[in-house]
Chain A
Amino acid sequence: MSNYPNNLQYTKEHEWIRVEGNTGIVGITAFAIEQLGDVVHLDLPKAGSKFKAGESFGTIESTKTVSDLYMPVAGTVAEVNSALTSAPEDIANDPHGKNWLVKVTLEGTPANLMTADQYTKYIADAANH
């Protein structure tokens, strides 16, 4: 499996967050996308919406399933990747970089997140069950 960037932090629900000052950039991992299969639809919130850590902020739909997207850290949505909502299938290209989902103004501190190494081990363990 691909390497997970070290400058990101990861959640158990397969989201990642890159913290830059007071802004958190949020996306989902390559593992999640592989599990989903062909992505067909993305439902993202409006700018200005507030979310608690662990709260669902949208959904991603594939032909197999609809999955909730969970906010890694509490914050207010500042920007939404609208290019992606009109072509959600593109998310498979560069999911850890340019195909982020939302940018949030942080209102909490990151907690209960994994490093790249921890996340790599986490998904390896899940695959062995």
Chain B
Amino acid sequence: MTVQHRFLPTTATDRAELLQACGVSSVEDLLKGIPDNVRFKGELPSGPAQSELEIRRRIRTLMKDGRYAKNALSFIGAGIYDHMCPAAVNQLTLRGEYLTSYTPYQPEMTQGTLQALFEFQTMVSELFGMEVSNASHYDGSTSLAEAALMALRINKNKNRLLVSSSVHPEYVQVLRTYLANLGVELAFVPLESGVTSLNSLKSLLSENVMGVIVQSPNFYGCVEDLESLAAAAKAKDALFIVSTPETLSLAVLPSPGDCGADIATGEGQSFGVPQSFGGPFVGLFTSKMEHVRQMPGRLCGETIDAQGRRSYTLTLSTREQHIRRDKATSNICTNQNLMALWATIWLTMMGKEGFHELAVQNLSKAEYAKDVLLKTGKAKLRYPTQSTFNEFVIELSCSAKDFANKAAAQGVAPGVALSRFDSNDNTGLLVCVTEKKSRDDIDHLAQLLRDLA
């Protein structure tokens, strides 16, 4: 039977002509290669074809109780951050030349994609204070897992990896899954007052540690002393690996490169990328130049063309899956190109001053929030001696989950109850305050705390 659909150019007439050119009378003749016993003769259960109008109507119904429809207020961070994005970014990435272009394996016809990637790599290296960045990974969690694999390749004869207990729990889960079949032993460094304990790290460091992983700002929002931790790792020839889920913090905190990182990874979602219920995002991966041949993922390099004009091309692709096959540095086939472009445009629009100012606004609003929340008398700072960027943990005297549920009924998500990650932690609430929260929004949160906690 023939289906005429708006996605399918072939009309009934076309179909007859094409089949004739193939020397057959029906499409069944072209399906001879499928043995009868594995030929599906039923109907797929995906229902009838729906028009655009019907799909739109369905979406409105589905989303009617969503956060956007309710104009809800959210103070949730925990690895995905609510930041502004100028209209131009979305519209530029809608251009078909970017959206519907293929991987730039033919550089002559993809200089647009390639130059944007070169700009991306430059900006990411600059932000992380590192010598080289790749063209992006799936997300922050898999970037970190790839960094662990890279440490394993560089320090082939070592089998232990130390991970701070303040790394995002889901990132840790991903690490575990990736390393499960590779004979690597994971050991966790305990915390002291909300940050990685330097003394514990030193006592855990031994000769067979390939790397040390620290997140900053960490999962609890606290800024880690990367320099001291890096020095301890170096003293035992372990690679120092940093993870930065909230990359806006790079505007105001010392860069991982300046603190001694060998590999610095992160999540570029903060660069205006929509939260999208968890993805797609843009994993960031940087390292020292001496390790560039061990770096996974795609790399864009500058060169010239036959006319001597500056040009760009994917390079060192011999490390990638399609050439080295089982000796590949990774099996990654993609970079998150469109999201890398998104981040590139966002960073270009924010610019040198805007990026810094945005971070200062985040910091200021978070500090204001701490102030008004504490003044309610219903909450304390869990780590009062630690500095934080735009996220912090407050300690309630009731169940944080109950408070969050009551607030949600009033259209406010006050943060993430830490009991979600640790069933023994009933009173901790991780609160994130970005530039998108007005003073009134923050005051409203304080009022809810007064009333409901």
Contacts and interface: CB of A to CB of B under 8 A. Distances in A.
Q: Do chains A and B touch in the complex (CB under 8 A)?
A: yes
B323 A65 contact: yes
Nearest to B313: A63
A56 to B, nearest CB: 10
Contacts of B324: 65-66
B24 to A, nearest CB: 34
Interface in A41-63: 41, 43, 61-63
Interface residues on B, range: under 10
A64 interface: yes
Contact of B293 (A41, A62, A64, A65): A41
Nearest to A56: B327
Which residue among B293, B318, B327 has the maximum number of chain A CB atoms within 10 Å of its CB?
A: B318
B446 to A, nearest CB: 59
Contacts of B319: 66
Interface residues of A, number: 9
B340 to A, nearest CB: 23
Contacts of A62: 318
Contacts of A43: 293
Nearest to B324: A66
A62 B319 CA distance: 11
Contacts of B318: 61-66
A8 B324 CA distance: 29
B295 to A, nearest CB: 14
Contacts of A41: 293
Nearest to B319: A66
A45 B381 CA distance: 55
Nearest to B329: A66
Nearest to B317: A63
A89 B319 CA distance: 19
A75 B21 CA distance: 65
Contacts of A68: 327
A62 B318 CA distance: 8
Which residue among A62, A63, A68 has the maximum number of chain B CB atoms within 10 Å of its CB?
A: A63
B113 to A, nearest CB: 19
Interface in A61-82: 61-66, 68
A83 B293 CA distance: 20
A41 B316 CA distance: 10
A66 B323 CA distance: 8
Contacts of B327: 66, 68
Interface in A1-52: 41, 43
Interface string B66-96: 0000000000000000000000000000000
A1 to B, nearest CB: 25
Contacts of B293: 41, 43, 61
Contacts of A65: 318, 323-324
Interface of B: 293, 318-319, 323-324, 327
Interface of A: 41, 43, 61-66, 68
17 contacts: A41-B293, A43-B293, A61-B293, A61-B318, A62-B318, A63-B318, A64-B318, A64-B323, A65-B318, A65-B323, A65-B324, A66-B318, A66-B319, A66-B323, A66-B324, A66-B327, A68-B327
Given A63-B318, A66-B327, 15 more contacts: A41-B293, A43-B293, A61-B293, A61-B318, A62-B318, A64-B318, A64-B323, A65-B318, A65-B323, A65-B324, A66-B318, A66-B319, A66-B323, A66-B324, A68-B327
Closest 9 CB pairs of A and B: A66-B318, A65-B323, A61-B318, A65-B318, A66-B324, A66-B319, A66-B323, A64-B323, A64-B318
